[in-house]
Structure 1
Amino acid sequence: MKTDPKQTLYGMSVQELQEAVKAIGLPAFRGVQLGDWIYKKNVLEWTEIKNFSKADIEKLAANYDLRSLDGSEASFSKGLESTKGLFKARDGHFLESVLISQRDRQTVCLSTQMGCKMACSFCASGKAKFLRNLTAGEIVEQVAWIQRKTEKRISNIVFMGMGEPLDNFDATMKAIEILIADWGFQLGGRRVTVSTSGITPKIIEFVERVDGRVRLSVSLHSSKPDVRDELMPINRRYNIDNLIQTLTEVHSKLKREITFEYTLIENINDSEEEARGVVKISLPLNAKVNLIPYNPIREMAAVYKTPSKERIERFTKILMDAGIHVTLRKTAGREIDAACGQLRLDREAVSAAGEPRTKNHEPREPAS
C-alpha cells in the first residue's frame, strides 16, 4: 500500500514551523530555531542541526522530512560563469536551476514547474511534457542546494527557469515570501524578479499581492502579433494588446520598472522593424529591455539560430538611440546546456532509456 510522503520543513513559514513542532510536543520557539537552521544556514541533513537534542531530532525525523530534493548535479560552463544544478524530486523526476556568477552578484534562476504548459516554440521547457507544479519547498530548496554546493552567497533571484511562475501562483507567492522574509532567506525584494509569459489576470493579482516589493519581468519576444503567436502560443489567449493594456494599468502600482525579456532569434524577430516595434511598446511604460541572444536547443537547431553579432548590435542600437534602457545578456551557459529545461530533458531521457549518455558532461545519479 502506497503511503503519502511526509510533509517537508522546507517550504513552511515560520508560523507553520511553530505549529509543526507543537504538533509533536515541542515548544513553539523550536519552530523559530528550525527556521533559522533551514533558511539562514541551509541545512540539508538532520545531523547538521546542533541545538536540538538527539531525542528531539528523532521525533522530528519520524514525523517530517527535512527536504524534498534528493541531491544535485553541477555542470560548469567555460569560465565558470554559470553552474547548472539538476535536482531529483521524491517522485523520481528532475528539475533544474542555474547559478549565474558575475563580479558583483550571484544570481539563481529558479524553476517553478516540471515542464511547462506555455509551449513556447523556442524553449527547451516547452518541449518537455508538463508533469506538475513544484511546491514552495521545492522552489526555495533550489537556493539552499546551490548555496551549499557552490559555497556562494546568493544575492539575486530570478524566476525564469522551467515553468511559468504565475501558472503556479500560490507556490510561487509562498516561495517569494520565504525568500524575502526576515525569518527566511532575507533577500531584499528588489533583488527578486518574477518573469511571466503574459497571463494577464495573474499579472494583476501578482501586482496586488507583492505591493511593489519585487520586480516584474515580461517575456515579449516579438512586437508583432503573428510572430508572437508562433513563438508564444499564449498570445492567442492573452494577446499583445491585452498584455500592454494590463501593464499600463498596473504600472503605477509596481513601484519598480517593468523589464521586457526579448530573445533574439535570427531572421525571426531580430529585424529593424521589430526593434522599432519594441521601442513603441517600451517607451510609454518606461520599460527596460533585456536582450537575450538565442541559446540553441538541439530539438530546434535547424529552425532557430542565434543572430550574428552585427544584427544584435543593430537591434540594440535602435533601442538605445530611442532612449530605452537596454541590457544584453551574456550566453554564459551554452557549454552546459543552460537553456531552461535542456538538462532535465537529457536526464529524463537517460532514465527512460536506462543507459548513460556519452558526452563530456554526462549526467550521474545525484548524490543523496
Structure 2
Amino acid sequence: MRKNLLDFSYEELVEEFAKLGLEKFRVDQVWDWIYKKKVFNFDEMTNLSKEQRNALGERFFIGIPELIDMQVSKIDKTTKFLWKLEDGNTIESVLLFHPDRVTACISSQVGCPAKCAFCATGQSGYVRNLTAGEITAQIIAMEKERKVNIGNIVYMGMGEPLLNYEEVVKSVRILNHKKSKNISMRRISISTVGIPEKIIDLAKDLPEVKLAISLHAPTNFKRDIIVPMNKKYSVEEIIHAAKEYQKITKNRVTFEYILIREFNDYVDDAEKLADLLKGMGAYVNLIPVNPVPSTGDIKMERPHHWMIERFKEVLDKRNIENEIRKEKGTDIDAACGQLRRRYTTKA
C-alpha cells in the first residue's frame, strides 16, 4: 500500500529514499517541489529521472486534500476552506490577512471530542485524529489555491491539538524545517482547551511555540457548563500547568475568553478572572461569541457592546493585558465548524 509522503519527517524520508537507492539530496529536491513550487505530482518533478519518479510513485502519494468549498470575505479577504480527505471526511482551514502577514488557522482532528457548547465543530462530533501529513497539507494547499505565502500558523481550527499530540508536534517540526516551509517556531501557536500534562510536554518538546488556552470562564461552576472537559481538568489544574509552562519556556501565555451574554460577561466574572491570572503577565483575548444553536440552557448570544467594554475596563484596572479581538470574515462562515456543518447537513 502506498504511503502519504507528507506524513514523513525529513529524516524519515532520507531513510525511506535510501531503501529505493535514492541519495539524500533527492529528498531536498522533492520537498522543494512540494513546499516551494507546490507541485504534487511526481511526474512533474523534472530533475528526477523517469525511473526515480516511477519508483516514488509506486511507494508514495502526495496527500493534498480536495477543495470542496471556499468562501472569501468581501470585507477583509478572510478565506474559509472546506477540504475532503482521502477517506471522504471533511475538515476546515482559514486564511487571515493582516497588513504585514498572512496567518493560517488549521485543523488537527476531524471533528472534536471536547464538545464545547459554543463551538459548531464540537456539536458535529469527533471522528478521528489527522496525521501530520494531513495537517501540513492544509498549509501548502491554501498557499497554492490563494497564491500566498503563509508566515504564521495557529492550531485553532477543528479539533483539540493536545489530544493529537504526537502528530501535531511532528507537523510543527516539519513546517519549521528549513527545507520545507522554514516557519519560525515563534510564529506558530497552539490553542488548547487545557490538557495539563500535555501543556507541560509541549513546554519541553516545543518551548518556542506559543500557547493559547481556551479558558472562557473563571470558575469551575461556569466552565463545567460550557466546556465539558473541565470536569476532568479543572480551572486550577490548567492555571497550574500554565504557570509551569511559563517557568520552563519563559513565554507569556494567552488566554482566550469567549464572552456569552448574561453568562460569563459580568463584572464579577472579570474580577475573578483577574484574580486567577494575577502575577502571571498573561494576555487575554476577549472574543464575542459566534452565535450557534444552543445545546443547553445557555443561549449563545453576544453581549451588548457596553458589557464587553465594561468587562475590558475591569481587566484594565487590574493590570491584566487584554484586547477585544477584531473580528474577521463576519460576512462568511468563518467560525470554526460552521462551513463543515452546513456541508454535512446538506449531504
Matched length: 346
1:312 aligns with 2:308: yes
1:340 counterpart SS class? coil
User: Is the 8 Å Cα contact of residues 224 and 231 (structure 2) preserved in structure 1?
Assistant: yes
Q: Secondary structure at the match of 1:290?
A: strand
Corresponding residue for 1:277? 272
Amino acid at match of 2:124: A
TM-score by length of 1: 0.89
Aligned residue identity for 2:14: Q
Task: Look up the match of 1:161.
Answer: 157
Q: Following TM superposition, by how much is the alpha carbon of 1:187 offset from its aligned partner in structure 2, in angstroms?
A: 0.8
- Indicate the SS of the match to 2:5: coil
**Deviation larger for 22-31 or 186-195:** 22-31
Give the Cα separation in 2 of the matches to 1:303 and 1:24.
Answer: 59
Asked if residue 297 in structure 1 is aligned to residue 285 in structure 2, the reply is: no
The equivalent residue for 1:85 is 81
- Give ranges in structure 1 of 5+ residues lacking alignment: 352-368
Q: What is the root-mean-square deviation in Å for CA atoms of aligned residues?
A: 1.8
- The gaps in structure 2 that reach 5 residues or longer are none
Matched, 1:133 2:129: yes
Contact 1:113/1:162 (CA < 8 Å) preserved in 2?
yes
Check 1:283–1:79 CA distance in 2 against 1; reply closer, same or farther (3 A cut). same
Offset of residue 118 of structure 1 = 0.7
Distance 1:327 1:48 in 2: 47
User: Are 1:240 and 2:235 an aligned pair?
Assistant: yes
Counterpart amino acid of residue 151 in structure 1: K
* 1:295–1:334 contact (8 Å) kept in structure 2: no
Write out aligned runs for 1:71-150 (5 A): 71-150=67-146
The equivalent residue for 2:49 is 53
Distance 1:236 1:252 in 2: 26
Offset of residue 47 of structure 1 = 4.5
TM-score by length of 2: 0.95
- Report the more deviating stretch, 303-312 or 129-138: 303-312
Greater mean deviation of Cα atoms: 26-35 or 261-270: 26-35
Deviation for aligned residue 1:327:
2.3
Q: Report if aligned partners of 2:294, 2:300 keep a CA contact under 8 Å in 1.
A: no
Secondary structure of the 1:336 match is coil
- SS of alignment partner, residue 279 of structure 2: helix
Which SS does the other structure have where 2:74 is aligned?
coil
Asked if residue 262 in structure 1 is aligned to residue 251 in structure 2, the reply is no
Q: Deviations over 1:63-96 (max 9, x none)?
A: 2101242335320123133100111101001001
For the 8 Å contact 1:17–1:34, the answer to whether it is kept is no
CA positional deviation for 1:280: 1.4
107-116 or 340-349, which moves further after superposition?
A: 340-349
